[in-house]
Amino acid sequence: MVEDEAHDAALVEHALKDGGFDFTFKRVDTEDAFLKEIQAFHPSVILSDHGLPAFDGFAALAIAQSKVPDVPFIFVTGSLGEEMAINALKTGATDFVLKHHLATLPPAVHRALRQADFRVQRRQAEEALQSSEEKYRSLVELSPDALFVVQSDERIIFINSAGVKLLGAAAPENLIGKSVREIIHPSSWKSVQQRLAQMFHEGKPTPFRERKMLRLDGTTVDVEVAAAPLTFHGKPAAQAIAHDITERKRSEEEIRRLNVDLERRVCERTTELETANKELEAFSYSVSHDLRAPLRHIEGFVEILVANKTSGLDEESAQHLETIAEASKKMGRLIDDLLTFSRTARAELNKLRFPFGDLVRASIRDLQHETVHRRVEWSVCEMPDVNADPALLRQVMLNLISNALKYTRTRKVARIEIGNASNGHENIFFIADNGVGFDPKYAHKLFGVFQRLHRAADFEGTGIGLANVRRIINRHGGRTWAEAELDKGAKFYFSLPRECREKPVPAS
């Protein structure tokens, strides 16, 4: 199982045990471990989450199709949306199961293993069709598929036990001597007859084709049939193999029904999302307009009082007015930040390939006003080109650099380093400072809305900037995290997937 959450993997094991499976289980969470265990563990089935911090489920699927194409691959995830589910099946996944519906996992694994067995059996059967007459009888009786021999006059002269069972006969004698036409459905007979005649004439095998056969009681069974020339008892004949695909056809029909339902639900969700976005736009406008109006009134009347009544106010009253004015300004900044945070989720991504170093330097220039009368030592490494939305990524850099300047304010000399690294499939960027830092046990709170690790009296802020950083990077398919120690500085990281599709353009 490709899964980074050990708890989720334990739930999957429990669900499979409840489903009656006796199995050995191995969990991996990196590409290297996955490649290693494919060879060492020899899996019968592969389960995979969709999105892992260091690996991707679709990448795992591509590797599995290359290395072990006969092993079923099932997505077991909590994050796979309807569109992604359809894409997973089209890409080659055997099935998908949602983590909150693990009761459906055992049936899905049963189906996947049956399909895998079928592929192995069919390959074995095809090899059997090329074997010698000496081995023929011993092999065909072991086959789970129906095998029978037809003479050039279209009479059945041999059938194995699986064929007797498939056609609902009591014994081979009930079928030997019958015309093959009696066990082929009328809708399939014409094409079967043509292929038999062609095979007898040209001596070439016919590939597997879906056909309908008739049991002795008149019922229909769906099969896949292939035939090849054979010399049987010294006479030309045709050996045919028929695999019962009734269950598979039923499963395929269910998958088609599910796909139709998924596509319908995608359309419905898209409509709902468009409606929700319109409502959110209206709400944002209302918040912006209706909350700003009373704030303007508060600030305006405070200014009137200060201008006209200063001489009549005692020191305490004047301090109260100053507190009211400052609180209204802080509320205004909070409204601005919340609206920016809301718009970030809805803004369309306009990705371009551009030099990230240009954007870093432009962001530093934009924040020069925060370095007045301060000693700031900058260290900026060479940066790669990135494929991202320049406007949104600029917000990220302004937030992170502004934070570094803010929390080094108490240092005589502020040192800020901006650098990057690569792990092969993503570029990793960092902004490090020698500021006040924070307690690392609270690092998980940093990127939440309104989460602050320092007192407002010491360092101003609304607690929304880092939440906005995480949202923007998540929308680009990247990650965000931080490291720090109290009074020893902090280091903030974010990553961007490595993509090289667009032509470079100058950063604005």
Read off the pLDDT of residues 384-403 as tens digits, 9 standing for 90 and up: 999 998 888 988 999 899 98
- pTM of the model as a whole: 0.41
Above 80 in pLDDT, residue 12?
yes
Assess whether pLDDT exceeds 60 at residue 455.
no
Average of pLDDT values for 150-160?
A: 88
How far, CA to CA in Å, does 327 sit from each of 89, 334, 502?
55, 10, 46
Q: Is the pLDDT assigned to residue 278 strictly greater than 90?
A: no
- For the cut 50, the answer to whether the pLDDT of residue 178 exceeds it is yes
**Residue 357 pairs with which residues in a beta bridge?**
none
Strands 46-48 and 480-484: unpaired
- Return d(Cα 416, Cα 433) in angstroms, integer: 5
- Residue 508's pLDDT is 35
Cβ–Cβ < 8 Å for 238, 228: yes
What would the mean pLDDT of 158-172 be, rounded to a whole number?
90
pLDDT tier at 493 (50, 70, 90 boundaries)? very high
Is the confidence at residue 506, as pLDDT, over 60? no
pLDDT band at 280; cut points 50, 70, 90: low
What pLDDT is attached to residue 507?
Answer: 40
Phi-psi region of 345 (alpha: psi -120 to 50; beta: other; left: phi over 0): alpha
Look at 53-57, 87-91, 442-446 and tell me which has the smallest mean pLDDT. Answer: 442-446
**C-alpha Rg value of the chain to the nearest Å:** 35
What value does the mean pLDDT take over residues 460-466? Answer: 68
* Residue from 384, 387, 383, 385 nearest 352 by CA: 387
Question: Residue 104: pLDDT above 50?
Answer: yes
427 vs 120, more confident = 427
Under the phi-then-psi rule, with left for phi > 0, alpha for psi from -120 to 50, and beta for the rest, what region is 235?
beta
Helix 105-129 and helix 133-142: axis angle, to 10°? Answer: 160
**Mean of pLDDT values over 320-341:** 73
Is the per-residue pLDDT at 417 higher than 50? yes
Average pLDDT of the segment spanning 17-41 = 92
pLDDT at 106 > cutoff 90 = yes
Instruction: Write down the pLDDT at residue 88.
Output: 82
pLDDT of residue 341: 63
The pLDDT value recorded for residue 503 is 41
**Which percentage of the chain shows pLDDT scores above 90?**
35
Whether 17 has a pLDDT exceeding 60, the answer reads yes
> Quick one: average pLDDT of 464-480?
88
Per-residue pLDDT, averaged over 35-49, amounts to: 92
158: number of Cβ within 10 Å: 21
Distance from CA of residue 204 to its chain's centroid?
Answer: 45
Higher pLDDT pick, 26 / 329: 26
pLDDT for residue 287? 62
Shortest CA distance to 167 belongs to which of 190, 187, 185, 192? 185
Instruction: Give 376's contacts (C-beta < 8 A, 6+ positions apart).
Output: 405, 408, 413, 414, 415, 416
Comparing C-alpha atoms, which of 433, 415, 427 is closest to residue 355? 427
pLDDT band at 501 (very low <50, low <70, confident <90, very high): very low
End-to-end CA distance of the chain: 45
Average pLDDT, the chain: 84
Higher local confidence (pLDDT), 314 or 438 = 438
Q: Report the C-alpha gap between 3 and 49 in whole angstroms.
A: 6
Residue that wins the pLDDT comparison between 402 and 275: 402
Q: State the average pLDDT over residues 165-177.
A: 91
For position 282, what pLDDT does the model report? 64
Average pLDDT over residues 151-178: 90
Query: Helix and strand tally (H, E) in the chain?
Result: 13, 15
DSSP class of 71: S
Is the pLDDT at 314 greater than 70, yes or no? yes
What pLDDT score does 337 carry? Answer: 65
Lowest mean pLDDT among 121-125, 188-192, 351-355: 121-125
